[in-house]
Amino acid sequence: MKQINQLSKDWWRESALNAPDIKTELPGPKSKEMHARTSKYMRGLSSQVKLFPVCFEEGFGITLTDVDGNRYLDFSSGIYVASLGHCHPKVSEAISFWAKKLMNVHDFTTPVKEKLMEKMVDILPGNLNAIQLYSDGSSAVEAAIRAARAITNKHEFISAYRDFHGKTMAAVSCARMYRGNTLSYGTTRAPGFYMVPRPDPYRPLWTKENGVIDTDAYISFYEQFLIEGTVGNVAAFVLEPAQGWAGSIFPPEDFFPKLKALCEKHNILLYDDEVLAGMGRTGEWLTLNHWNVLPDIVTFGKSFGNGFPVTAMVVSEEYGDALEEISASSSYGGNPMACAAALASIEVIEEEDILQNVREVGQFFSKRMNEMKEQHPIIGDVKGKGFLLGMELVKDKKSKEPFEEAGKLVYQKAFRKGLAWIPAGHILRMSPPLIMDEKYAKRGMDIIEEAISEVEKKFGYK
């Protein structure tokens, strides 16, 4: 296969010139027509599509183009997926090579799978080296839960309020199931699955006398919950390292080290679900690396193949034999195209020094968001590390009452100005491609700030 190691890091820049470039009213006429025809049959669309039903036909680097020829600056990465830019040439060529040579042989070894396994072990911390591959995040999470049962011979699991882990039975049971309709995610949580509060520095349940969030109070509650809320058969704590769906919420710096100590004390596994936050989005291969904590189980997804459906579940070497007991393989997991996409993505992160770019431009994002927080009355809090970012809109900074209507309007106004991004109620979520430089980061933030100012004026704040 032809190598593209010498590909310039600037491969995407020409396509980004003058972006965004809006030529029609948005959504454009062709988008409206196509969406109307498609939505007659395609049901269950996401909130971002319902709020702004545009029809895309091309993506390259940090831009997306719709069927009307409008070009958008991408601040979503296809909802945390195309993290290395849309259609990165190295990743696209790697997929194309295997699509023409060998598409699926179930879980037999292939040359590209061998290379991927070795590369994954290189980037993962500690002795995380027992691996299985899947085609979606929920499947990887379900497999991780089965693995935890096999490793511990226990059946209970604890997750946290506002975590998100997928849309299948066990994965859903590790997250908020109520969606305003008790039947939407099922009538009950699966047996043995429990939820506990997780420290949110902006909305703490427990604080110290000085008003700072009290991590020890959360850990003490977990200790009590193990006795009073479970039957003493907990296999794992299941947590996102940073809560993505909830709005890029990061815990206090001492939370994960103290949680790990609690897990070790009670012989409970720590399962780190990095499907959304992993693969460099916060400037580390694993977001959990920021706190020097080693999980027992980890799952990868979304950006793992830069848009190609490939995910992974990894356990520590000492627990590797448990994967032999859970029928871990799947129909599509680890097919040559998927392995090629994941391998090429890891190589791009290394060759283009993506982690360093995320750290440097992430500092710009942090500075800019904090400046906006000081200047805008409806920005209650800003959150994030690297390119995993969020801003929480409130009606009043003292009461912190969520401002849902403002969130929807800011999302729509910024989209009409050419920014493709992600809504989350009153929280604005931003996840630009990791290749983005400060010039385009500033351009995107300028659009968001302009939209916020317009919404503030509409509601009488300015």
What is the C-alpha to C-alpha distance for residues 214 and 254, in angstroms, rounded to an integer? 10
Q: Helices 354-375 and 336-351 meet at what angle, rounded to 10?
A: 70
Report whether 115 contacts 343 (CB < 8 A): yes
CA atoms within 13 A on the CB side of 55: 14
Domains and CATH numbers, the chain: 13-84+353-458 (3.90.1150.10), 90-351 (3.40.640.10)
> pLDDT for 87-119, tens place per residue?
999 999 999 999 999 999 999 999 999 999 999
**Cα separations (Å) of 83 from 161, 349, 354, 387, 416?**
27, 10, 10, 10, 23
Buried-exposed string 276-301: b where 16+ CB fall within 10 A, e elsewhere:
bbbbbbbbbbbbbbbbebbbbbbbbb
Residues with Cβ within 8 Å of residue 33, at least 6 apart in sequence: none
CB neighbours (10 Å) of residue 264?
Answer: 12
pLDDT, residue 46, reads 83
pLDDT, residue 3, reads 45
pLDDT, residue 109, reads 94
What is the C-alpha to C-alpha distance for residues 259 and 215, in angstroms, rounded to an integer? 10
Chain position carrying tokens 């007659």: 40
Q: What are the mean pLDDT values of the chain's consecutive 10-residue runs (462 residues total)?
A: 56 95 95 93 86 93 97 95 97 98 94 98 97 96 97 98 90 82 75 96 96 97 98 98 94 98 98 96 98 98 96 97 92 95 98 97 98 98 97 97 96 96 90 98 98 97 83
Chain position carrying tokens 């590390």: 385
Report whether 307 contacts 146 (CB < 8 A): no
> pLDDT for 16-73, tens place per residue?
999 999 999 999 999 999 999 999 998 888 888 888 899 999 999 999 999 999 999 9
Q: What angle do CA 192, 190, 286 make, to 5 degrees?
A: 75
Q: Rounded to a whole number, what is the distance in angstroms from the first to the last CA of the chain?
A: 59
pLDDT, residue 462, reads 73
Report whether 258 contacts 219 (CB < 8 A): yes
pLDDT, residue 435, reads 98
pLDDT, residue 2, reads 40
